[in-house]
């Protein structure tokens, strides 16, 4: 038994080594990913369950690593944040999303708002305003067709500074939403001070929306959103049950695998050609 334990330890060691090597490799290669055009934007539809139409999309980043294949953001965004590369990556992301959206609009394929996820590091850099202004000018996109998704962590890290930056962004005309609402360091008490347009109910609540207790929380979020004049959107909707529960509680816009997974630009175009979309 002792011998087996020792072997197990070795096995575990190997797995740890493999992960460490992978992390070092990703760290080393991430800098080149931007210039080598290995980053790609995936788009996930937001669905208006009242009018049964696509009402928007969320942009989600992917890294097509030449050797390792598709790397997910959960693995490389933390590295991008540690190294500061997140600022350049977000600049690229905002520009690419505005460019793609303008292209779709000129083809008359879509006239929607697309959201981009924000990192706390981007707010710290103080460069977000100029990034957004630049992308709007260079692509000619209507400002309200761009949305920035912030989190409670970003809002509460330095509340006064965040409010100041968000107000400047609102002056440019872009939309702001609060992502993962209800899971972060609570911003509930300051929700009325933040110049935001929408609340996104976190996937965790939707996943457990068969529980009466989670249903109560979801209903409360929908009520608060309504009273503060904020749009509300549910993320991670996977089943018909979840969809009809949310609809019955007055949530109109939904996003999740039930409606569509994140897809690259080409696949989104095919998806849009389907008669039901």
Work out whether 184 is an interface residue with ligand C2E (CB under 6 A): no
Task: Name the one range near Ca ion by CB under 5 A: 132-140, 155-163, 234-242, 262-270.
Answer: 234-242
Q: Two tokens at 211?
A: 């529980």
Residue with tokens 């816009």: 253
* Partner touching 119 among ligand C2E, Ca ion, none, CB below 5 to 8 Å by kind: ligand C2E
Q: What are phi and psi of 153, to 5 degrees?
A: -60, -45
**Segment 76-79 long-range contacts (CB within 8 Å, at least 24 positions apart):** 76/26, 76/30, 77/119, 79/23, 79/26, 79/27, 79/30
Least separation in angstroms between CB 181 and ligand C2E: 11
Work out whether 96 is an interface residue with ligand C2E (CB under 6 A): no
Task: Name the one range near Ca ion by CB under 5 A: 68-76, 106-114, 149-157, 220-228.
Answer: 149-157
- Residue with Cβ nearer Ca ion (154 or 243): 154
Work out whether 119 is an interface residue with Ca ion (CB under 5 A): no
Work out whether 60 is an interface residue with ligand C2E (CB under 6 A): yes
Work out whether 152 is an interface residue with Ca ion (CB under 5 A): no
Work out whether 33 is an interface residue with ligand C2E (CB under 6 A): no
Least separation in angstroms between CB 43 and Ca ion: 12
Residues that bind ligand C2E in the complex, under the rule CB under 6 A: 44, 60-61, 72-74, 77, 93, 117-119, 179-180, 203, 235-238, 256-257, 262
């Amino acid at each position: 038994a002792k011998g087996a334990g020792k072997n197990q330890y070795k096995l575990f060691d190997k797995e740890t080594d493999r992960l460490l090597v992978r992390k070092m490799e990703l760290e080393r290669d991430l800098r080149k990913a931007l210039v080598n055009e290995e980053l790609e934007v995936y788009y996930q539809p937001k669905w208006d369950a009242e009018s049964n139409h696509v009402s928007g999309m969320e942009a989600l980043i992917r890294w097509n690593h030449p050797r390792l294949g598709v790397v997910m953001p959960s693995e490389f965004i933390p590295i991008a944040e540690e190294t500061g590369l997140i600022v350049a990556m977000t600049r690229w992301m905002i520009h690419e999303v505005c460019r793609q959206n303008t292209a779709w609009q000129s083809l008359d394929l879509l006239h929607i708002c697309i959201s981009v996820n924000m990192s706390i590091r981007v707010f710290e850099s103080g460069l977000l305003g100029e990034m957004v202004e630049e992308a709007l000018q260079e692509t000619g996109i209507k400002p309200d067709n761009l949305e920035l998704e912030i989190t409670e962590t970003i809002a509460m890290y330095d509340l006064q500074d965040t409010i100041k930056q968000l107000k400047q962004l609102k002056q440019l005309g872009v939309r702001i939403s609060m992502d993962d609402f209800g899971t972060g360091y609570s911003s509930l008490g300051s929700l009325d001070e933040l110049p935001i347009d929408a609340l996104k109910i976190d996937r965790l609540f939707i996943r457990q929306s068969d529980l009466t207790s989670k249903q109560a929380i979801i209903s409360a979020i929908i009520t608060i959103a309504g009273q503060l004049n904020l749009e509300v959107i549910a993320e991670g909707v996977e089943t018909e049950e979840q969809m009809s529960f949310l609809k019955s509680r007055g949530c109109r816009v939904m996003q999740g695998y039930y409606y569509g997974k994140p897809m690259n630009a080409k696949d989104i175009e095919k998806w849009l050609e389907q008669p039901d979309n």
